[in-house]
Amino acid sequence: MSDQFQNLFTPIRIKNVDIRNRIVSTGHGTGLGENKIPGQPIIDYHVERAKGGCGLIVVEIAGVHKSTAAPLIGWDERLIPEYRKLTDAVHEHGAKISLQVGHIGRQRFFGRRLNWAPSPMPYQFYDTIGLTPKEVEIEDIKEVVEGWGRAAHITRESGFDGVEIHSLYGNYFLGAFVSPYSNKRNDEYGGSLENRMRVIYEVMDSVRKNVGDDYMVGLQLNGDDLTSGGLGPNEYKEIASLIDQRKQIDYIVVKAGTYWVPNMVIPDMQHPLGLWVPYSSGIKEVTKNAVIIAVGRINDPVFAEKVLADGHADMTGMTRAQIADPELANKTREGRLEDIRPCVACNDGCWGNIYGARFGCVHNTAAANERKLGIGTLNPADKIKNVMVIGGGPGGLKAAKIAALRGHKVSLYEKRDQFGGQVRFAAKGAGRGELEGIIRHLSIQVEKMNIETHLDTEVTPEMVKESNPDAVIVATGSIPRRKSFTGIPSFDPDIQDPVGSEQSNVLTSLDLLENEAETGRKVIVADDGEGNWKAVSIAELLFDRGKDVELVTPLEFARDLTAERRIPVLKRFLKKGIKITPYTMIREIKDKTVVLYNIYSRQETIVEDVDNVVLAYFHQANDALYFDLKGKVKELYRIGDCMAPRMIGDAIREGEKIARLL
């Protein structure tokens, strides 16, 4: 290891726990608990990060009381053997491990249930505002505080190296008590800071009583509520100082936000790197006893080293970075920085999938599937084959890499002059630049391997026949539509497809992003129900170029984007004055006149003097070559958008799957 990372890889001792480096996987929801019990999937997930060299792993919240809908159960001693399997497995690979224990208060994940909170303020969680919680009575508070101590005892008995009190952030149970925006009580738990801190001190006392003075205890703490009526940095510095003076807390993870600002709770690529580091720096200034852990878009070891070297924190949380690449620590120590699979903070596979789909990562196919796809699972091929991969987008690059790693002789063809497919063009949209990290990583891996590459080469059936490969993987992607293909009845007027979509002043998304077509001043950008990044990023890009832009969509604004991604771009649209016209589609384009209609009322609106219309519609599979080859080659597969236009992660996942089957 070079001196470049001397801070990051200096061991640290917290209480009586020796941690091999300063890299932390902080507590985060995975949804991998089986009926709230830590079974094999969650064990495999955390063991992968331990194998990869992480110093301290914090497991997601286990509930301290039956009134909370936490992802794991923390109040039942019968689960000690199950937790012990997790801690033993992680320790086998040299990492230390803590468990978050807590109460999520008025927040909820799924379903309609009675929640508990300091005051009867309706919850805000993610995309939803809902039920009013019960205002906890004194006996309820005492019961929950006792539950915290019991859960801490269970944590120690389960072999965890520490317990982490969840949480004085996000406006969960403890955060809701300390923040005046959510605590409207008139008793001894409300009003003054001393009263609002009372339950915090009681929880700390309860935890210490049950684990002893020699056990590592951590705490999550906001640096700023970032919410009207809440607490700011100076108030949280005072709170941190008060907590630190009691000498009961050994480390503090500094976060920010409440679920009224979900984009700040789980910040995506629209936010700068290290956006919460100033908060950890401020809290470090006023604390003397606790180790301070900085988090918040610290996705690169070089940046993490600087955070430590500049004295902003003692350790760095690199959580999503280790979802993307669990071997980040080992690769950094070995000087293999270009081999690190970068987190691009797209939030599409991790947070974007945890509620309603399966937790994972857009370009780490093994995330949450470690037993099948994780470290050490890629076996050499039984028979070496000549494999032809057609298409150098994310799916084709992944397929070529995995096939080559298994020992196959791989040739990769791309019709453009660069690899990357449509991801390269998507990255040109406003706020989407970090997507290039996916392609940069995959391209570097392909270049480092013995793969025969052909750029500026459009493959024909004759070329395939001449090459006579043993297997062909078609990854030719998709092409834009000029006609809507929503298939949703309420979107369809008497005339479904806009008349005039073939006019020269009507562009597709790729005309604009790939071919760099120029537009006039007045532009309509039309979504036809995809509701994702394509239309909104194009509209903002054009506005930033000085255009008069109207975004037309049959949905609410960017409905397919989860709240933490949608809110920042919506705020920018409103502040910039970009016109948004929801529940609307195009009926007709005639020269520079565009006829719009409301999909529900059918009322028409005529827009004059439109220089260009950009159709950011659903794509269609570019599958002609696949069908030309069907039945004419030994083995034929298609992946990604060539099968059906979807997301980046789908193409990468299918590329790996097929390459592992060859």
Give the CATH number of the domain where residue 440 resides.
3.40.50.720
Q: Helix (H) and strand (E) counts for the chain? A: 23, 30
Beta strand pairing status for 72-73 and 96-102? unpaired
Residue 111 has a pLDDT of: 54
Whether residue 472 is found in the same domain as residue 566? no
Exposure string over 247-275, b if 16+ CB within 10 A, otherwise e:
ebbbbbbbbbbbbbbbbbbbbbbbbebbe
Whether 15 is covered by a domain: the verdict is yes
Overall size of the chain counted in residues: 662
Residue 358 has a pLDDT of: 79
Whether residue 591 is found in the same domain as residue 655? no
Whether residue 426 is found in the same domain as residue 541? no
- The gap from C-alpha 659 to its chain's centroid, in whole angstroms, comes to 26
3-class DSSP assignment, residue 330: helix
Ranges of the chain with pLDDT below 70: 1-2, 108-113, 123-130, 353-357, 485-497
Residue 171 has a pLDDT of: 83
Q: How far apart are CA 618 and CA 613, in angstroms?
A: 15
What pLDDT digit, counting tens, does each position of 313-335 carry?
999 999 999 999 999 999 999 99
Cα 298 to Cα 99, 269, 302, distances in angstroms: 22, 12, 9
Whether residue 195 is found in the same domain as residue 335? yes
Give the CATH number of the domain where residue 540 resides.
3.50.50.60
pTM of the model: 0.94
Do 511 and 615 touch, CB atoms closer than 8 A? no
Residue 346 has a pLDDT of: 93
Whether 483 is covered by a domain: the verdict is no
Helix (H) or strand (E) holding 195: helix 193-196
Write the Ramachandran bin of 587: left for phi over 0, alpha for psi from -120 to 50, otherwise beta.
alpha
Cα 569 to Cα 234, 288, 572, 578, 613, distances in angstroms: 29, 39, 5, 11, 21
Whether residue 578 is found in the same domain as residue 632? no
Residue 480 has a pLDDT of: 94
Task: Specify the number of domains making up the chain.
Answer: 3
Residue 34 has a pLDDT of: 87
Whether residue 323 is found in the same domain as residue 174? yes
Whether residue 573 is found in the same domain as residue 471? no
Whether residue 561 is found in the same domain as residue 630? no
Q: How far apart are CA 542 and CA 53, in angstroms?
A: 44
Whether 162 is covered by a domain: the verdict is yes
Q: What are phi and psi of 439, to 5 degrees?
A: -70, -40
Whether 81 is covered by a domain: the verdict is yes
Cα 494 to Cα 490, 498, 527, 528, 554, distances in angstroms: 11, 11, 19, 16, 16
Whether 68 is covered by a domain: the verdict is yes
Whether 296 is covered by a domain: the verdict is yes
What pLDDT digit, counting tens, does each position of 73-132 carry?
999 999 999 999 999 999 999 999 999 999 988 776 555 667 888 998 876 665 556 678
Q: Which of 344, 373, 402 is the last residue of a domain?
A: 373
Residue 258 has a pLDDT of: 85
Q: Which of 327, 348, 373 is the last residue of a domain?
A: 373
Whether residue 634 is found in the same domain as residue 611? no
The whole domain housing 435 covers 386-477+622-661
Whether residue 613 is found in the same domain as residue 627? no
Do 59 and 38 touch, CB atoms closer than 8 A? yes
Whether 42 is covered by a domain: the verdict is yes
Q: Which of 373, 395, 424 is the last residue of a domain?
A: 373
ω before 158 within 30° of 0 (cis)? no
Whether residue 454 is found in the same domain as residue 502? no
Whether residue 470 is found in the same domain as residue 537? no
Most distant CA pair in the chain, distance: 83
177 exposure class (CB count in 10 Å sphere: 0-12, 13-18, 19+): buried
Residue 487 has a pLDDT of: 54
Residue 493 has a pLDDT of: 54
Tokens of 319: 């959580």
